[in-house]
Structure 1
Amino acid sequence: MTLLSFGVVERLWRYPVKSTGGERVDRVAVEFRGLAGDRLWAVRDAAGKFGSGKSTRRFRHMPGLLRLGSRYADGRDRPEVLDVDGRPVPDPDAYLRAYLRRDDVMLAREGEISHFDQQPLSVLSTATLDWVRRAVPGVAVDERRFRPNILVRTPAGTPPFVEDTWLGRTVGIGGARIEFVDSSERCAMVNHDQPGLPHSPLVLRAVAAGHDNRLDALARVLVPGEVGVGDPVVPG
């Protein structure tokens, strides 16, 4: 870690199918759209809405998606869907229809309508994640509850919610350069159960009370490039 570094990349996550569990990667290309393949696919219903943890103009709440997983395997462009036990399913569309008990859903690649809620990258610090753990003792918490793309290991003594100080700044990470522009307003999805993380209403309650429901730093990509675990996050 350099003296001017915000920290180093601890873990990288991408979510091939929106609102399902993601996959950890050691290195990944960062494109203007975000991490290569991130949320490139989604579960779409007959009305054209995408499966999510909430319902809005673009998204439809589809309970249980977070208990599933998704990953890219063998260099294929279409991701695998993993069942609740972590096993790839042979026919994702058929499985999703049976699992969700809906006959109008299918796996759909992004078209003209973006699958992203807001900006293409979410970055979270270990300082903030550690604060959440302290705020909800006895509740299993790791970064998967907040679905960041990049978890940054911040130096000892870094205060929680340090991400607030990043907004409006640009940083280099590996071969990429990004600009922090906003933060995420959290919803009940952070409470939902997923493998190893039981449902708990205390998580959102703590974030709402401790930081006005906002957690992470959202970024746009200024210069594409490759990013890897261990890369320093350097201002400039």
Structure 2
Amino acid sequence: MTTSPDKAPSGAVVALQCFPVKSMGGVAAPGLDVAAHGVVGDRDWAVYDAAGKLASGKHTRRFRRMDPVFALVARREGGDVVVTRPDGTELVAGHPATDEVLSAHFGEPVRLGRDDGVRHQDAAAVSLVGTATLAELGRYEGDGRVLDPRHLRANLVVETDEPYAEDTWVGHEVTVGGVRLRVTGRTQRCRMVGVAQVGLAARADMLRVVSEQHGLMAGVYAQVVEPGRVALGDEVAPS
């Protein structure tokens, strides 16, 4: 695979991820349906504190650092979103008792709510990262193992030959399976790239590595031009 600033590169999709609740762990999937607003079921829900801020790994105008969220995993089961606690207890989003149990987990009043017309994603509908970027960042931290894409919460992981090849996608439209995307910008990272999560050990120096190696940027954001479905093995190609 080759890259050029004048033409978006192509490569196979090697992983797909959906996160039903913002900042909780999510699930790998063999395929994802993509609507105009983004991946169907992705970050439809979020944990809200009493002031209406969303549980996250960082402090911003919209988000609040609330690390207990990283001990939870969410999945879609039929029409429900099911949250699994560290002790294995399962909670159904929207159930009357769920907020009470989550409040005990967080140690403060919280509620699990759907988006209210403002999407829960940080900056764009879909996120992507290349495998070479994950390998490049990983080799500078700890024992050098490849960075797990779950640390970056990317929806699509695409096989690439060169680190940061996906940066050259910015400003281009790309087709992935039955979906056409317009890549809008690079993704600025926060401390979440290194925090411990369910099934993931901490990468203590990863944020420093991302900063030193690529100016805090890793992966790209995209908006949906044409909805459809994307599956493992689909090619990313110029449209």
- Would you say same fold, with TM above 0.5? yes
Compare 222-231 and 78-87 and name the one that shifted more.
78-87
Pairwise CA distance, 1:184: 1.2
Are 2:149 and 1:143 equivalent residues in the alignment?
yes
- Which has more strand, going by share of residues? 2
Distance between the aligned counterparts of 1:95 and 1:139, measured in 2?
39
1:16 equivalent in alignment to 2:31 = no
For structure 2, the residue ranges without an aligned partner over 5 or more in a row are 2-7
Partner residue in 1 for 2:62:
58
Is 1:128–2:129 an aligned residue pair? no
Query: Quick check: 1:81–1:92 contact (8 Å CA) kept in 2?
Result: no
Do 1:68 and 1:86's aligned partners in 2 also have CA atoms closer than 8 Å? no
The equivalent of 1:167 in structure 2 is 170
Aligned-residue offset at 1:86: 5.3
Matched residue SS, 1:189: helix
Structure 1 range deviating more: 44-53 or 143-152: 44-53
* Matched-pair contact (CA < 8 Å) for 2:174–2:182: yes
TM-score (norm 1): 0.91
C-alpha separation in 2, matches of 1:84 and 1:166: 39
Is 2:55–2:64's contact at 8 Å kept on the other side of the alignment?
Answer: yes
SS of corresponding position for 2:16? strand
Structure 1 residue 55 displacement after superposition:
1.4
What is the number of residues matched between the two proteins? 230
Contact 1:69 1:86 in 2 (8 A): no
> What displacement does 1:198 show?
2.1
Distance 1:148 1:69, change over 3 A: same
Note the aligned Cα RMSD (angstroms): 2.0
Distance, in Å, in 1 between the alignment partners of 2:156 and 2:31 is 11
Deviations 1:47-80 (CA, angstroms, capped at 9, x unpaired): 111111111111111112122100001x11x310
Structure-2 separation of matches of 1:88 and 1:198: 23
Task: Give 3-state SS (helix, strand or coil) of 1:183's partner.
Answer: strand
CA drift at 1:199: 2.3
Letter in 2 for 1:53: G
Report if the CA contact (8 A) 2:73-2:198 is conserved: no
Change (3 A) 1:139 1:202: farther
Following superposition, the deviation at residue 200 of structure 1 comes to 3.1
Pairing 1:181–2:184 present? yes
1:119 and 2:124 are equivalent in the alignment:
yes
TM-score by length of 2: 0.90
Where 1:122 maps in the other structure, the secondary structure is strand
Structure 1 window deviating more from structure 2 (135-144 vs 201-210): it is 135-144
Partner of 1:31: 35
Query: Which sections of structure 1, spanning at least 5 residues, go unmatched?
Result: none
Distance 2:193 2:47 in 1: 19
Counterpart CA distance in 2 for 1:62 and 1:19 is: 9
Query: Aligned match of 1:97 in 93, 103, 120?
Result: 103
CA shift for structure 1 position 87: 5.0
